[in-house]
Each structure stands twice: as C-alpha cells, then as structure tokens.
Amino acid sequence: MDNLFSGLEAFGLDKLSGVDIYEKEKENTAAEETVAKPAFSEAEYVYDKTHTCPVCDKEFKSKVVKYGKIKLENLDSDLRPVYQNMDPLKYDAIVCPYCGYAALSRFFKFMTSTQADLIKKNISVAFKGLQETGEILTYDDAIARHKLALLSSVVKKAKTSERAYTCLKTAWVIRGKAEKLPANLPDYQAQKESLEKEELDFLAKAYDGFCEAFSKEAFPMCGMDEVTIMLLLAELARKVGKYDEASRWVSRILVSREAKDRVKEKAREIKEMIRENKRN
C-alpha cells in the first residue's frame, strides 16, 4: 500500500508520514436576443468563517460552504453526497495556519489538554504553515488538508471512528478529483488510475476502522446510527473486494428489526452488486 500521507511534505511533516492510523492503545431571453446564463462561480458559494484553534487559542479564518444555496443531486452507494455544480466536501477539513492542527469540521472543537500537547509536540514544532490559496480550494488543496486532518487524528489518539470517518471523507475528495480530471491531459489514464488506487487505499482504511469502532464505540457514530453504519460497512467491504464480509453485513441489515424498508432495499442493491462482482 502506498503512503497515505504523501503530499504533506509541503507542511514540513514528512517525518510523520509513516504513522499507523490504527495503532493500538473523510434561460433568460429578451424579445430579440438571448442572454446567456452567468457562469457558475464557486467563490459565491463559500465564505470565510472565524475559528478559534483549540490547540494554540489563536483565531483564524477558513472557507465554509453556504449549504443552503447548493442542491443535493444524489448519494453514491457508499453515502457520499453529490451536489450540483460544486463539491462542498473539499471544504470540510479545517486547518489552523499557526500550529498545524487540523480536523474535520464536526471534530475540530473537541480537544483535551493531553491531545493539545500531543499536537504541539508532534505537529506544531515542524509545521511550516499553509500555502496561500485563491478564492476557492482546489482538489489538491483539499486532499492535503484532509490528510493533515487524518494525521492530527492519529497524533492526538482520537477515537477509531474519527480516524475512520476522516479516511472515508478523504477518499470521497479524491474521488471528486478523479471525476473532474480533464480528459485531455496527456497522462489522463495514468492519473485516473493512480487516484482510483489511492481512493481504494483510504476506503480500505475506513472499513478497517469502522469495523473496529462498531464493536467498541457507542451509537450514533459520526452522526450515523447502527443500521447506517452497517450499510456503509457492507458497501465499503464490497468496494475493497471483501465480498464475503460484505455479504455478512447485508444479511445483518436484512434481518434487522430496526432497518427501514428503504435501507433494506439499498442492502439488496449491494447484494446484487456483490453477485455481479463475483461473476466478473
């Protein structure tokens, strides 16, 4: 497996690139002319929000999405939300530009003094700062920030579910980059395959982490109830080629009294995809 933390060298954190994620302890028309619709501008759908870092106590601004102005189109089979015109998932990792602490937005504020010390001793001492970005984040910007969030979760010894969820969200951002990759690139196929492999690496880590967390942590987990996590585990197992394990998760959903009909229908869809995978 390739190094999941590749790309963090720019932050000065290359020495931490070998850490183990789960070491024990993601038409208007006029009368005679047509007026073209204005081009979509992603910058109009994000704004700067002020945060206070729980590690160094300094204030900084980070770009946040105006979710009320964008439209959800559909969910991927592994629950990744797909929106019209833009990918708001790029903006979910918050990074303090002063000390280097990073986390997904749902986890950013929660920090113990012990965890803060771990971040200072292992990340802040080597952190070189954030590079300037434009009005919006590129996929490369977003992927680097998500990897930094994952590294922070490992360093501060966060719950397994937080590390797994950060892996999942990182995989989703990498998938977004692959989907938007210009087809006229001279090395398009090579880049596409590299991104797909990297995505699978993160999905595999997400699966491992959620499996461990499922048996040890309380629900809801990362905002998801037990049945939703089982559905996610079934699809992650299928995506990474663990078909027998995927089938077992599907079976658990189908016999669950808590699972609603729509969830069971999604489980049956995964079951059919598993059959197709095995035939191919």
Instruction: Give the position of tokens 């790309």.
Output: 7
Instruction: Give the count of beta carbons closer than 10 Å to the beta carbon of residue 213.
Output: 22
124 to 22, 50, 106, 143: CA distances (angstroms): 22, 20, 21, 20
- CB burial of 221-231 (b: ≥16 within 10 Å; e: otherwise) equals bbebebbbbbb
The predicted model scores a pTM of: 0.88
Alpha carbons 209 and 229: distance in angstroms, whole number: 12
Name the nearest CA neighbour of 164 among 197, 213, 235, 228: 213
pLDDT digits (tens, 9 = 90+) for 63-104: 999 999 999 999 999 999 999 999 999 999 999 999 999 999
Alpha carbons 113 and 8: distance in angstroms, whole number: 25
User: Tokens for 84?
Assistant: 């019209």
Bond prior to 220 in cis (omega within 30° of 0): yes
pLDDT at 263: 97
Alpha carbons 129 and 21: distance in angstroms, whole number: 23
Instruction: Give the count of beta carbons closer than 10 Å to the beta carbon of residue 242.
Output: 18
* Helix (H) or strand (E) segment spanning residue 63: strand 59-65
* Helix (H) or strand (E) segment spanning residue 52: strand 46-52
pLDDT digits (tens, 9 = 90+) for 121-141: 999 999 999 887 889 999 999
Point out the residues of the chain with pLDDT beneath 50: 26-33
Alpha carbons 151 and 21: distance in angstroms, whole number: 8
